[in-house]
Structure 1
């Protein structure tokens, strides 16, 4: 247990937090959240807790699930870097590469808010990818910290939108898109050499 906490690194926590923050992009999702709130009753606490549960569950069992398919964390990290790259292109260029499936319903706090808007495919991919770079405790705390931010944003959605304005939200989206693009390139460059080494080692 002591060793578990000794693995904590402030730098690792901050980097993992920023990666998840950019991927979740809760600030950039404010217009979408407002649109959902106009037609559905949204419970910020429920949405946050469900998102937290999904992310922590995937952090704990995600690697085991990959193992069943014979896929290593580094392989998933490379695949994840490509997904993050595509998401960054969306944020920077304003294009739509991932189509919305239009899922919804009465349980708006869970679907589509908690999943897939907050804890979606991008978040899942990122959580697995981060395990190739950072310790479990750093990722776990980064997830919790991000969910706290999500809760605050959900509670203060309309105030934040009025404060930032459409231009402010658009600028934030571009900035975090560039950050995410740099992270995707670093993640790819860090893990791809190990994959080639493994391929050569099996020959």
Structure 2
């Protein structure tokens, strides 16, 4: 085991993924979707997100490129699909249904969708991980792969723990803001999520246009 290689890829994984994931933004999504819920629900969702996120990162790293290739899904298409999902989530937060609000106590889990996918493990994160896996496949003979994989998977675990901890801190903020504060905060974050989704969608369109232009 090459400790230096392991540590290098651990740090590259953590430093590369955390800004892309932006756990505080995911915490605001949890905050907006947790009105009427108690602390146990929020902490439970945060822990579940940590587990789901680690699994999603590992699966994307190991077979993400193969799955996209199998279904002929391009990275631009992944961005477009993720953008549409994020816009839909933001729209529901900005204009909640008057009959149901954001969900009564006992609502179904929101840990997988939308918190893990696409909030944390979205198109940008998946594209970054798939690019890393492709790069390692090309230069695998030059590296000590057990150390590389150990560093990457340990980095995934650290990122998942950081995300779970950040999301668990949503409850103190929920209590501090109060009901009126949460209503206002939810709508603000809904608008920002719509903007983020449109940005993903726009990037996907730009990449598709560039691909078409290169073929001409």
Q: Same fold (TM over 0.5)?
A: yes
Flag the 1:83–1:122 CA change in 2: closer, same or farther, 3 A: farther
Match of 1:130 in 2: 124
Q: Determine helix, strand or coil for the equivalent of 1:194.
A: helix
- C-alpha separation in 1, matches of 2:202 and 2:126: 12
- C-alpha separation in 2, matches of 1:119 and 1:176: 19
Flag the 1:21–1:43 CA change in 2: closer, same or farther, 3 A: closer
Large movers: runs of 4+ above 6 Å: none
Q: CA RMSD of the aligned region, Å?
A: 3.9
What TM-score do you get using the length of structure 2 for normalisation? 0.62
Work out whether residues 17 and 145 of structure 1, in 8 Å CA contact, stay in contact via their aligned partners in 2: no
Structure 2 residues without counterparts, runs of 5 or longer: 1-5, 133-151
Flag the 1:180–1:70 CA change in 2: closer, same or farther, 3 A: same
Q: Determine helix, strand or coil for the equivalent of 2:32.
A: coil
Work out whether residues 77 and 132 of structure 1, in 8 Å CA contact, stay in contact via their aligned partners in 2: no
Structure 1 residues without counterparts, runs of 5 or longer: none
Matches of residues 11-160 of structure 1 in structure 2 within 5 Å? 13-14=18-19, 16-17=21-22, 20-21=25-26, 25-34=29-38, 44=43, 47-62=45-60, 63=64, 64-95=66-97, 112-113=108-109, 117-121=110-114, 123-126=116-119, 127-131=121-125, 140=156, 143-153=160-170, 157=171, 160=173
- C-alpha separation in 1, matches of 2:159 and 2:169: 16
Work out whether residues 20 and 146 of structure 1, in 8 Å CA contact, stay in contact via their aligned partners in 2: no
Question: What is the CA deviation profile of residues 103-148 of structure 1, one whole-angstrom value per residue up to 9, with x for unaligned ones?
Answer: x9xxx7xx933xxx122146323414123665677x9566543311
Identify which of structures 1 and 2 has the higher relative contact order when contacts are C-alpha pairs closer than 8 Å and 6+ apart: 2
- C-alpha separation in 2, matches of 1:161 and 1:43: 10
What TM-score do you get using the length of structure 1 for normalisation? 0.65
Bigger radius of gyration among the two: 2
